[in-house]
Amino acid sequence: MKTEVYRSLSGQRAVESRYREHLQRWTVPLRQRTVATREGETFVVDCGPTEAPPVVLLHGAGSNSAIWHADAPRWSLTHRLYMVDVIGEPGLSAPSRPPRSSDAYALWLDDVLDGLGVDTAALVGVSLGGWLATDYAIRRTGRVQRLALRAPGGIGRQRYGAVFAALALMPFGDRGTRLALRIVLGPGNIPDPVIDYMLAIHRNYRPRHDTLPVFSDTDLKSITAPLFVALGARDRMISSRDTAARLTRLQPTASIKVLADVGHGTVDDGDELHTFLSQGAKP
């Protein structure tokens, strides 16, 4: 089912224009393409050596592939990065928002990988993207070589206090929304340009309000790919303690990093995550 992602056509144009301008400022050469899928066209940005091991990157809700601008220059030295704009989010992909309780997103990712000519890849996902990557690793064990997650949803308990506090601030214009974003994403040093960009998105974007499904113990046990997880100890969106405890119990060989004084939007594990990806790279 198709759903309106934006509040207005002018708002959509504003977000998409700013996104394209952002991509033009990247220091690493980018290739851009659209891939046909059963959910509509999917926008993909890629960089890195064409013959390098592939890594598929999935961003969180209310964002797009611009979030990878700090990591792409390092990771693309050794890997071919495919940064996928998730359908139904404020990127350049189709507005489709299929049920998360079905296999629709796995089927969509099948189409994306097939369209890119990628049989198997490492997956990196943040927040909602972490949920999508986990879901795919559970449903498609043969296509996921390694799985790296930042503050993933669907594993630990969801926390609502920060969300309710943020909602109370939203009616107070841009100033209230800026503070709300810092509450939800913090604590931690979130640069003003990042907040400005997110503010531009949230002025015009209609977020989903359905609950993100929680993976069962059986699902999480079934993951066969090597697993790396980075969590913020002070995440206000999900319980990092719950997430770490479940994965320690169900995936005892996983590398789990709980970073002190870090929130949902400030996880900086780029070097360790790159090392994890490189461990699985074929010579």
Element counts in the chain: helices (H) and strands (E)? 10, 8
Nearest Cα neighbor of 79 from 32, 24, 118 is 118
Q: Which of 8-17, 82-91, 179-188, 273-282 has the highest mean predicted lDDT (pLDDT)?
A: 82-91
- For 132-170, give the DSSP string: HHHHHHHH-GGGEEEEEEES-SSSSPB--HHHHHHHHHG
pTM of the model: 0.89
Nearest Cα neighbor of 87 from 52, 44, 136, 144 is 44
- 41-55, 63-77, 155-169, 239-253: least confidently modelled range: 155-169
Instruction: Give the helix ranges, DSSP H, for the chain.
Output: 9-24, 72-75, 104-116, 128-139, 161-169, 173-185, 192-204, 217-221, 240-250, 270-279
Mean pLDDT of 199-203: 81
What is the domain partition of the chain in residue ranges?
A: 9-279
Distance CA 150, CA 145 (A): 17
End-to-end C-alpha distance for the chain, whole angstroms: 43
Could you say which of 3.40.50.1820, 3.30.420.10, 2.60.120.1440, 3.30.70.270 is the CATH number of the domain covering 9-279?
3.40.50.1820
Q: Of residues 238 and 119, which shows the higher confidence score?
A: 119
